[in-house]
């Protein structure tokens, strides 16, 4: 196992495979799956996130977990700020998703997840990552 020394750009190698990546299959962009997520999904709030999730079948989703991030235009008028927050949330998910994927692999489940950003202010990366870890732990307990 090899660990790069940079603090915010951690890449783990395990037997030649990169563990912390965010491939296209893990991005939730199908309108049908997103509609299903908000119609039949369960949710909880762990500020600054509202997490909505739903279990899907193998036909609906190719990856074990697919996610997307939403930052409301009502709270952040400028697209630059919305995109900045989305990048922070995606990066914190990417670095901390390994436990979620292993749990889903053990249970043979597939999951669609939406992270809705609720705060009115831009938080620093360390705070977002801390809240992401806590949110994912709550999600583990609900599976």
| More confidently predicted of 48 and 30 | 48
Report pLDDT for 19.
63
pTM value > 0.75: yes
Instruction: With a cut of 60, say whether residue 14 has pLDDT above it.
Output: no
Residue-wise pLDDT for 56-107, tens only, equals 888 888 888 999 999 999 999 999 999 999 999 999 999 999 888 889 889 8
Strand locations in the chain (E): 2-3, 12-14, 17-18, 42-46, 49-56, 65-70, 110-117
């Amino acid at each position: 196992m090899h660990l790069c020394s940079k603090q915010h750009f951690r890449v783990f190698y395990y037997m030649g495979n990169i563990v912390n990546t965010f491939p296209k299959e893990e991005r939730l962009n199908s309108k049908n799956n997103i509609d299903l997520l908000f119609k039949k999904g369960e949710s909880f709030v762990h500020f600054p996130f509202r997490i909505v999730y739903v279990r899907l079948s193998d036909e609906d989703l190719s990856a074990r977990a697919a996610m997307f991030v939403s930052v409301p235009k009502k709270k952040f008028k400028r697209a630059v700020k919305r995109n900045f927050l989305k990048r922070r949330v995606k990066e914190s998910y990417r670095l901390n998703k390994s436990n979620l994927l292993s749990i889903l692999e053990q249970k043979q489940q597939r999951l669609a997840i939406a992270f809705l950003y609720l705060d009115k202010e831009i938080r620093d990366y360390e705070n977002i990552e801390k809240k992401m870890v806590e949110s994912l732990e709550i999600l583990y307990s609900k599976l």
